[in-house]
Amino acid sequence: MKCDPKDLLLYAVTDRHWLNGRTLVDVVKESLDGGVTMIQLREKSLDEGKFLEEAKELQALCRERHVPFIVNDNVDIAKAMDADGVHVGQDDMAALDAREVRAKLGPDKLIGVSAHTVEEALLAEKQGADYLGVGAVFPTSSKSDVGEMSYETLKAICKAVSIPVVAIGGISGENVGKLAGSGICGVAVISAIYAAKDVKAAAADLKATVEEMLRA
């Protein structure tokens, strides 16, 4: 499956830390109502059974809206539930590179890979990644182990590869304009949408701001 750059415009990564008594399905539905173009299920603490159950619910929601549904890291869950694809970080790549992920999932699934340098980006593309998640472009609390990346590096990665690039890390409506001209196709966010009281409005506002940034 070829990754449509339009699907990366507003890429939302789930995080149950921000639920505040709401269900994950409810907040994801609100974000889709606000115009999110791709959903990545990121779960670090659920057992496999619960994870699979939740993933299937979210996937059904995404299919209704024709929005790609990606599972973070867990290739076996992605395969078991026939998700649209999987996103793997550099830590996961050490155990399973994009070629091995492709062999497990088959030719028609999306594979996203995190990259922090031009070298990592080129290697991921060579091994069959369909898109790259690149960052952290701003300081972020969700990934304390990842250093902040310069605009120049982001731009160099976009220029070096022919697959679409989505920027991630600390992105908000206030700072997203600083990414104009870098070559990205969109942004991946967690708290900018899911920490908001009104998730739908936060997604709609951010989407409009990203579209404006991409036109700049």
59-89 pLDDT, tens digit per residue, is 999 999 999 999 999 899 899 989 999 999 9
Q: What is the spatial distance between Cα 197 and Cα 189, in angstroms, rounded to a whole number?
A: 16
Burial, 37: exposed, middle or buried (Cβ in 10 Å; 0-12, 13-18, 19+)? buried
Least confident of 53-57, 126-130, 173-177: 53-57
Q: What is the pLDDT of residue 2?
A: 81
pTM score > 0.85 for this model?
A: yes
Catalytic positions: 42, 114, 143
Q: What is the pLDDT of residue 12?
A: 98
pLDDT at 134 over 90: yes
What pLDDT, in 10s, does the model give residues 162-203? 999 999 999 999 999 999 999 999 999 999 999 999 999 999
Cα dihedral sign, 92-5-15-25: negative
Burial, 102: exposed, middle or buried (Cβ in 10 Å; 0-12, 13-18, 19+)? middle
pLDDT at 45 over 80: no
Alpha helices in the chain (DSSP H): 24-33, 48-65, 75-80, 90-95, 98-105, 118-126, 151-160, 191-194, 199-215
Q: What is the pLDDT of residue 97?
A: 85
